Amino acid sequence: MSPATEPRTIRVQLPSHLRTLAGVPGEVVVETADPSVQGVMEALEVLHPVLRGTIRNHEDGVRRDYMRYFACGEDISHDPVDTILPDPVLRGKEPLRVVGAISGG
């Protein structure tokens, strides 16, 4: 099996309202052979179907406007969704963080 398709355990941190919706007290751990944001989000939605449509649109899987992805302290929200996640995330040292952004004045 090649490294790109080798199953990985990824830690995901969700905002409190999504943890409540999914019924999880802390981090979520997902298994995926796709080491990208897209792969992690698909695995997360399979594990917790109630989250479908909350982080990404139902129709096209595009990230919702006020949701952001962070890896290793960097905002990766605008990176292509098939970009491979940073090594510390893939090794379980760092989580992929999903953050609800706010705006206003």
pLDDT in tens, 76-97: 999 999 999 999 999 999 999 9
Q: For the residues of 25-69, what is the DSSP string, one character each? A: SS-EEEEES--BHHHHHHHHHHH-GGGTTTSB-TTT-PBPTTEEE
Per-residue model confidence (pLDDT) at position 2? 43
- The pTM score is 0.90
Identify the structural domains of the chain with CATH numbers, from first to last. Answer: 3-100 (3.10.20.30)
Per-residue model confidence (pLDDT) at position 102? 78
